[in-house]
Structure 1
Amino acid sequence: MTYNAQTGASQLVADLAADIKDKVILITGPSPGSIGAAFAEAVAAGQPALIILATRNPSKVEPVSQSIASAHPSVKVRTLELDLGSLEKVRRATDDVNSWADVPVIDVVVNNAGIMAVPFELSPEGVESQFATNHLGHFLFVNLIMAKILAARAPRVVIVASDAHRLQSIRFGGVNFDDGKVYNKWLAYGQSKTANMLTALALANKLGKRGLLAFSLHPGVILTHLADHLDAQKEFADLHALEVTQGNREAKDEMKFKTPDQGAATSVYAAFYPGLKDHNGAYLQDCQVADPWTQCVRPWGTDPVEAEMLWKLTEELAGQEFSY
């Protein structure tokens, strides 16, 4: 079966139902109207054993829980309070997950939550907020529940990155943009998305021998609430100007939008498609392994040396080592 940019999550779930059935799936950031919600609602049709909705505000995802319960009453749904912007709160959430005796195994984790192009702010631990929320919080969360992930028969970790990684490699000498003095919201977003790609690659390299598959992906451009805080006309004009300054050929491309169902499709593909076993650590786009030339894959997002460097930096920022 060949999938592409027009493929929807619902189509993939129908095709991959046997690979979804009876699994325990955790997704971060499944707020209503998001691609995370589209993913959760689509995957429920595959009859997983449990869907865990991890969110900063549990009451906010109640409509998603109700939607799943209404359409698929046999599928269990559990909500987890998870604030990725605070390492203390991430640890609190992982303590909760690890205490669930009735959930000994988590088959699939989809790191979907994120923020985009926000004003400069530091996390409670003093890390630039986009890097902290999109990367650091997810890194710590996944590694602290890794025992339950590795207990699965065919564990997968999926990380929603973005083709915006083309904007910025990892600033190993200053992820905080000199404490905001040289901060650019789009470069900071790009850095966090590069970090997502490198984390998936590092997980594959470190834990592939123990059966873990890890992938990052670009979901496409989808109209969700992620950009509600932006003055779209001004901010995307600034983004275009930045692309021109950097010499990115993507600056000439017309922005093509996807529906939420199409936007969630590559996450479903990454989480369940059986044909990806020979591509561990890959970056995916449009339900396929992304092509570096035609689908905007920068080498700094796929370099194993940079992946290992980022792992060590992130351990330092998290104050905890994970030696696999």
Structure 2
Amino acid sequence: MTSHPEYNEKTTATEVADAFSDRIRNKNVVITGVGPNSLGEALALAIAAHSPAKLILASRTKAKLEEVLKKISTGRPEMSSKIELVILDLASQKSVREAVAQILGCIDHIDILINNAGLMMLKQEFTGEGIELQFGTNHIGHFLFTNLLLEKLCREVGSSQGEAGSTKIVNVTSAGHRLSPFRFQDYNVDGKPVPDEEQPPAAMIAAYGKVDTYNGWIAYGQSKTANILFSVALNERFRSRGIVSYAVHPGSIWTGLGRNLDEQGTEILAKTGTYWKSIDEGAAPMLVAALDPALDGPPEPNRVYISDCQIAEAAPWAIDTDAAKRLFELSVELVGIDTA
């Protein structure tokens, strides 16, 4: 249970940051996907109000980062020297490595990492490495980014700074993970045959179409499943190093996430929400995951998913420990790194 069971879909990131101000002060925080009128901006504004030691904001576009920096600095000029802007294109492993090199050079440790960036699209596209773009950006880019930052994330448990939950990694997922399990046999969603356990539920196929060719909805769904499986794997692998990870559904929000959808896709997306949040409300559950001391203990897989600021139930395929291990191993192959 969280410290604030009264928090819900209308709770704001501003409220959460105010409640846990002491958990932000003098901490080093990294946020991806930061741009104007985005969840990343709402996160940055809420955190900047409570004197972090360093706030590292990452995005593909320098102009967008500078706009957010200006907004923060207008209200809190003392934060200007504490903010580092990092160009990060998660669809490019070269860009990820360059961004990590910049971050490693400016801080000695990371207390909170919020993997917030993401995209949604219906047309099949690929990263420079030939990986389906939604999977490649939403999961693989963040997987590489996180693993290359591990030396700044891990602590020795039992030391003064190494208690459980001394580092929080928040992976932003979606209720869209219910669209599909991860397709190990067809991760580029080319329409190849997959085992029954990797098939989308019949109701999802009825609503969003078969997967005999590329299906953007199913591709998005498996990438969001991957975000949750990544948190499960991080908790399994690095709990002895102080890392605790949660996967968070922000809720239904109109942001730039759906900018690549056509008119029909936008209409379908509009029907998926009953309460549409502000960006301040959408950012709140990420801050609950990052800051609430009641969530410092490594969660069991069935408690890794947060929605509307509370622990929620994820689809069974998204919290399967065997699938989490398989995905971690596949991801290692796709990015070509050695892991602890």
Is the Cα–Cα contact under 8 Å of residues 41 and 68 in structure 2 kept in the other structure? Answer: yes
Cross-structure match for 1:287: 309
Q: Secondary structure at the match of 1:31?
A: coil
Post-superposition Cα deviations, 1:113-134, rounded to whole Å, max 9, x if no partner, equal: 0111241011111100000000
Aligned counterparts, 1:1-324, within 5 A: 1-2=4-5, 3-75=7-79, 76-100=82-106, 103-151=107-155, 153=162, 154-178=166-190, 182-232=213-263, 234-238=264-268, 255-280=274-299, 282-290=304-312, 292=313, 297-323=314-340
Is the Cα–Cα contact under 8 Å of residues 165 and 193 in structure 1 kept in the other structure? Answer: yes
Q: Choose 279-288 or 4-13, whichever is displaced more.
A: 279-288
**Which one-letter code corresponds to 2:310 in the other structure?**
Q
Post-superposition Cα deviations, 1:172-226, rounded to whole Å, max 9, x if no partner, equal: 0110122897111111110100000000110011001111111111000111122
User: Kindly, what percent of the aligned residue pairs are identical?
Assistant: 39
Work out the CA distance in 2 between the residues paired with 1:288 and 1:13.
Answer: 16
Work out the CA distance in 1 between the residues paired with 2:241 and 2:183.
Answer: 31
Structure 2's unaligned 5+ residue stretches are 156-160, 193-211
Q: 1:254 to 1:94 in 2, by over 3 A?
A: closer
Q: 1:131 to 1:81 in 2, by over 3 A?
A: same
Work out the CA distance in 2 between the residues paired with 1:219 and 1:238.
Answer: 18
- TM-score, reference length from structure 1: 0.89
Cα distance, 1:157 vs. partner? 0.6
Post-superposition Cα deviations, 1:216-265, rounded to whole Å, max 9, x if no partner, equal: 11000111122233234x1155569xxxxxxxxxx8x7532111110000
Is the Cα–Cα contact under 8 Å of residues 220 and 258 in structure 1 kept in the other structure? Answer: yes
Q: 1:150 to 1:278 in 2, by over 3 A?
A: closer
Work out the CA distance in 2 between the residues paired with 1:118 and 1:54.
Answer: 25
Q: Secondary structure at the match of 1:78?
A: strand
Q: Secondary structure at the match of 2:86?
A: strand
User: After the TM superposition, which parts of structure 1 deviate over 3 Å for at least 4 consecutive aligned residues?
Assistant: 236-240
Is the Cα–Cα contact under 8 Å of residues 118 and 130 in structure 1 kept in the other structure? Answer: no
Post-superposition Cα deviations, 1:111-159, rounded to whole Å, max 9, x if no partner, equal: 0001112410111111000000000010001100111112565111100
Q: Secondary structure at the match of 1:201?
A: helix
Q: Secondary structure at the match of 1:47?
A: coil
Cα distance, 1:92 vs. partner? 1.7
**Which one-letter code corresponds to 1:194 in the other structure?**
T
Is the Cα–Cα contact under 8 Å of residues 252 and 273 in structure 2 kept in the other structure? Answer: no
Work out the CA distance in 1 between the residues paired with 2:287 and 2:273.
Answer: 26
Work out the CA distance in 2 between the residues paired with 1:15 and 1:199.
Answer: 28
Work out the CA distance in 2 between the residues paired with 1:46 and 1:275.
Answer: 20
Work out the CA distance in 2 between the residues paired with 1:237 and 1:286.
Answer: 23
Work out the CA distance in 1 between the residues paired with 2:280 and 2:16.
Answer: 10
- TM-score, reference length from structure 2: 0.85
Q: Choose 276-285 or 49-58, whichever is displaced more.
A: 276-285
Work out the CA distance in 2 between the residues paired with 1:236 and 1:274.
Answer: 38
Post-superposition Cα deviations, 1:37-92, rounded to whole Å, max 9, x if no partner, equal: 11111111121111111111122211111111121222211101111001122112
**Which one-letter code corresponds to 1:71 in the other structure?**
G
**Which one-letter code corresponds to 1:204 in the other structure?**
N
Work out the CA distance in 1 between the residues paired with 2:298 and 2:281.
Answer: 22
Structure 1's unaligned 5+ residue stretches are 241-250
Work out the CA distance in 1 between the residues paired with 2:338 and 2:213.
Answer: 30
Superposed CA RMSD in Å reads: 1.8
Work out the CA distance in 1 between the residues paired with 2:273 and 2:219.
Answer: 23
Work out the CA distance in 2 between the residues paired with 1:239 and 1:263.
Answer: 16
